[in-house]
Structure formats: structure tokens, C-alpha cells
Chain A
Amino acid sequence: MAVDQSLIGKQFEATEPVVVTSEAIAAYCDALGDENYRRPGPDGAIVAPPSFAVTFRNTEAFFHYTPRFGRGFDAGKEVEFFAPIRAGDSITLTSVVREMYEKTGRSGTMTFVVLRSTLTNQRGETVAHVDHRFVHRNPGEPG
């Protein structure tokens, strides 16, 4: 399957704002085994660990334009942290297709799709960039 380069730059509809609760941060920290982030910051709000930024989900439309064939996997992420996320924040995601490319290795040809999500809080501050790198094995390939 040829990679459709016209999808690069495709912007997805922003998600509805998600209000961060102290319970959501606690559930994340408990599962991660992180006790340091349960205590309030100087302003009294619970501050999430930086990696909490990857918990925000895109809308289904996010996946509509990505290749959906064979077995798809999360190949990696690149996350830049600009501002902390606190309980009470309201986070919105906007996402765009950054890259699409193919690689051929011993196990066949795979298509990589890089989608960037920008997290913005209720003050309009960019909180984080999350680059999701997905890989899909092309149809007809072994494995």
C-alpha cells in the first residue's frame, strides 16, 4: 500500500475539554507506583507526574485517517513537557498528522504514522506535545 502523503498536515477536530480530577491523578500514580505526586503543590492543587500527559485520549476521528490493516502497534512516543498538569485543569487535545513513511525490514514492509497531539489547558497554555508513532504491518506481509 502506498503511503498517502496528502494526509500529512491533516488536522483533527479538537477533543472536548477533559477536567483533570485528583482521583484520576491518584489512580494513575497508584498504578505507576509513583508516591511523589500525591502531595499538593504550592497552590494547594495536586500536580500530576509529567507522563500523565499521555493519558488523554483522542477522538475516534484521530484513527479514521490512519492505515487500519493487519496488526497495529504503538511504536513509540516523543513527549515534550511545557507546563505541569494540575487537578482542576481542563485539557483539550488538537492533533495533526506529522509524518507517514514506510520501512522494509526482515519482517516485511511496515507503515509508520506519526501523529502530534497538542495539549492545551483552560488558560490557553500549551501543556505538552505528544508525538505518537504507530506502526502497521502491510497486508499480505508475513507475521
Chain B
Amino acid sequence: MSANTGRHFDSVAVGESLGPHEIVIEKPRARAFAAACGMDSGRFHDDEAARAEGLPGMIIPGNFSLGLLSKLVTDWLGAGPGRLTRIGTTYRAIVLPERRLTLHGFVTHIEREARSVEIDVWIENEEAERLVIGTASVAFPPTD
């Protein structure tokens, strides 16, 4: 991803896209994330433990999806004055490692007075199924 020198409020437009960014999360990286979050449940570390719970194999923690979508927004903001103030996520389906995922965002609303921006964010699988959906809010200072 190329460095973003910073997004300013006046340059944001409704309909602007964030991404898409394709990623594949390998199992060691998923385990490292779970460990960094203190999530020691076997379903995040081990295929057999996950299968014992009726899952198809180890899964990506929901917090990882939230982190990736937050990063999608903060990367889009870059080094500019905007700040991620809120993110909400809904985990609609299991996210599995070693699958091609695509991160998407879309500016849905701009509050000129409040200098805030609302963004839809989501993660799709290769079948364009939205596994994780959410919304994020970004705030800009009075002048930037």
C-alpha cells in the first residue's frame, strides 16, 4: 500500500471508495494476532480444537476483522488531521485463514457542520459474500 500523506476534510466526497484491498491471512499470522490479544481459545489456534467445537477449522478472531477494517480507515486517513472515532462491526459468517479476503469501504455521509464522515466497511470472501459488515465514523478538526 502506498504511503498516504494525509486526507483533509474538504477532499472527502460521498461515494468515495476505501480499498479494495486483498489479503490472505495465513494461520501463523492469525495465531500471532490471537496471542497478541490474549485470546487463548483453541478455535483461534488449532484446527483440531476448532473442529471439536463443530467448526470447519481454526477461525480468524472477530477482533482481527475489526482491526483490519479500522486499519482500512486509518490508512485512508493517512497522516492527516482526521481521526477514527468509532467503529461498529457485525460478524455475519466465520472468517477462515488462508482464503482470499477483500477489504472494502465506502463514504456514505458527510456532516459539514460537525466535520464528520460516515463510512460503510466490510470484508468479502472470494464469492463476494460479506462476512463482516460495519460502519465507521471519522472526525476532522475545525480547520485542517
- Chain A contact residues, CB within 8 Å of chain B: 24, 27-28, 30-34, 36, 49-51, 54-55, 57, 71, 73-81, 133
Contact = CB atoms under 8 A, between A and B. Distances in A.
Interface in B39-53: 53
A75 B32 contact: no
B62 interface: yes
B120 to A, nearest CB: 14
Contact of B88 (A55, A57, A79): A79
Contacts of B63: 51, 54-55, 74, 77
Contacts, number: 89
Interface of B: 23, 29, 32-33, 35-38, 53-54, 61-64, 66-68, 70-71, 74-75, 83-91, 134
A78 B32 CA distance: 23
For the residues of A in contact with B, the DSSP-based class is mixed
A51 B66 contact: yes
Given A57-B38, A77-B62, A51 B33 contact: no
Contacts of B71: 32-34, 49, 51
A95 B67 CA distance: 21
Given A49-B70, A76-B62, A55 B90 contact: no
